[in-house]
Structure formats: structure tokens, C-alpha cells
Amino acid sequence: MTFETFSTGSSILHRLDVRTKLLAALLLIGVLAVSTSFPAAAGGLATGAALVLGAGLDRQAVIKRLLLVNGFVLFLWITLPLSYPGTPLFSFGPVPLSREGILLALLITIKTNGAVLIMVALIATSTVSDLGHGLSRLKIPDVFCMLLLFSYRYLSVIHQEYQRLQRAARLRCFQARTSIHTYRTYGYLFGMTLVKSHHRAERVRKAMVLRGFDGRFYSLNTSTIGSRDIGFAAVAIVLTATMLVLEWRFA
């Protein structure tokens, strides 16, 4: 499992303080998410594309990420033109395809891709650890920051534990079939993984307590907001304002 495909690099986006990037992403994606006009959505998509280019990320990896997301968008293209009320554009046999449905699906596609590109350029260019500490320094409650950091740290451990159990089952000639035996076995596998994770969490907590943990997280990260961050924040605000103006003019 890989989470940090895009986090290594030396572009200006990689070197920005994580707080600047989080706030910029919040602004841009927030406006993009509520926009209803094509020019505003297209502005968001262009912003995302420009940021990804600016971050100098591996093109193929970005395209792969987009394909994954558009797999879900495909379902909208299948359902919306058929179900959304409006003027039929043309008929697919006896079934009419509505013009409004197609436009809506198109708008959602543009917005989704724009948002994903912005996320990739601004959020995925930080390591999970920096994100956790950045969120904490933005006064997000520690519980949420810890949830993020611990999920990241232990997801692969729990995944490995599950795989170990699964391998053990397979080595004893277990084959998944449509049978009660299969369902029961998977029930045991999931249940055992859950129990093991719980015990793991207990042990991790104990190990932390022994090293003086009292519920508060102290960070080694002392990075500060510099002129680079202020410059980027200004650009992000101008871009957001442009999208707002486009939305106001065309909506």
C-alpha cells in the first residue's frame, strides 16, 4: 500500500509550509465544490492542472489517480442522462437522454477532476506526518490529528496481519467458495484481525505511556510561514476570487 506517491520532490509546492497548502486547498476546493456554472468549474480545473504541472509530478501517476476517480464518475454518466428530468436531446432506442442530465454529468466531471488535481498538487505533496502536525498547528483538535497519524502508521501493520491470517488459511487448502464454510472462515478472519488490532492498540498505548505520553502531542516540526508562503497564499486568493466572479457572472 502506498500513500505518499507524490510527497517527494523539490518544487515550490513541496517546499511550502503545509498550513499554507491546507488553507489554499480549502479555499479553492470550497469554492469549486459549490460553483454551478461551467466557466467557474473550468477555472477550477485549469487551476488544478496548472498546480499539478507546477509541482512537477509524475504525469503517469497523476493520470492513474484521475482514472481511478473517473471510474466513479462513470456511474453518473450512466444514470444521470437517463434519470434527470429535462428536454430529451436524443433517444437511445425507447429511452430518451435528457440534455440537462448530460450537462450536469459534465459539470460534475469537471468539478471532480479539478478538485482531485488541486488535492494532488496541494495535499499529496506533503507527507502524512507533516499533514498531521500541520493540522494540529491549525488548531484542529489533537484527536483528529492522532487519528490521521495512527491510521497511516498502523494501516499497513493491520493489513499485513490480515494477509498473514489469510495466507495461513490458504496454506491449509482453504479456497473461497459460495458456502457456509467460506463465509464462516472470512468471518473468523475479519473478527480475528479486529481482535488483533485491538490488542495491538492496547500495546502501542502502553508503550507510549511508558515513554511519558499524557495525551498531548509535541512536534519536532518548527517550520515557519515565510515570504514564499505569503506569495502563494496571495495567488490562491486571487484564483479563488476569479472563480467567485465567474460564478457570479454566469450562474
Partner 1 sequence: MSAHPIIELQGLTFAYESGNTPVLDHIDLVQCERQRTGLIGPNGCGKTTLFHCMMGLLTPQSGTIHFKGSRVTEKSDFTMLRRDIGMLFQDADDQLFSPTVIEDVAFGPLNLGAGPESARTTAQQTLDKLGLRHLENRVTHHLSGGEKKLVSLATILAMKPGTLFLDEPTNNLDPGTRERLIDIITGLDLGYMIISHDYDFLAATCTDLAGMERGTIVPVEKSALHTHHHIHPHGTHPHEHHDH
Complex with partner 1: residue 152 or 186, whichever CB lies closer: 152
| Closest listed residue to residue 17, CA positions, set 237, 230, 235 | 230
3-state helix, strand and coil shares in percent for the chain, rounded to the nearest 5: 75, 5, 25
Q: Which residues contact 178 (CB under 8 A, 6 or more apart)?
A: none
Provide the 8-state DSSP code for 211: T
Q: Does 53 bind partner 1 (CB under 8 A)?
A: no
Scan residues 131-170 and list those touching partner 1 (CB under 8 A).
132, 149-150, 152-154, 156-157
Site string for partner 1, 210-239 (x = CB under 8 A): xxxxx---xxxxx-----------------
| Shortest Å distance, C-beta 129 to partner 1 | 3
Minimum separation from the CB atom of position 44 to partner 1 (A): 31
Cβ count near 143 (within 10 Å)? 9
Q: What separation in angstroms does the CA of 2 have from each of 15, 55, 58, 186? A: 21, 19, 15, 25
Closer to partner 1 by CB, 95 or 220: give it: 220
| Residues facing 90 on adjacent strands | 97
Residue whose CB is less far from partner 1, 84 or 152: 152
- Residue pair 145/133 in contact by the 8 Å Cβ criterion: yes
Residue list 21-40, contact with partner 1 (CB under 8 A): none
CA atoms of 85 and 74, how far apart (whole Å) = 19
Q: How far is the CB of 171 from partner 1 (least distance, A)?
A: 20
Q: Which is nearer to partner 1, 90 or 214 (CB)?
A: 214
The residue (of 213 and 250) whose beta carbon lies closer to partner 1 is 213
208 lines the binding site for partner 1 (CB under 8 A): yes
Q: CB nearer to partner 1: give 127 or 242.
A: 127
Return d(Cα 191, Cα 113) in angstroms, integer.
37
How far apart are the C-alpha atoms of 36 and 214, rounded to whole Å? Answer: 47
Site for partner 1 in 94-133 (CB under 8 A): 127-129, 132
| Min dist. Cβ of residue 168 to partner 1 (A) | 17
Q: Give the nearest distance from C-beta 132 to partner 1 in angstroms.
A: 8
| CA-based nearest residue to 97, from 106, 108, 88 | 88
How many residues touch partner 1 under the rule CB under 8 A: the total is 28
Contacts to partner 1 by CB under 8 A? 127-129, 132, 149-150, 152-154, 156-157, 200, 203-204, 206-214, 218-222
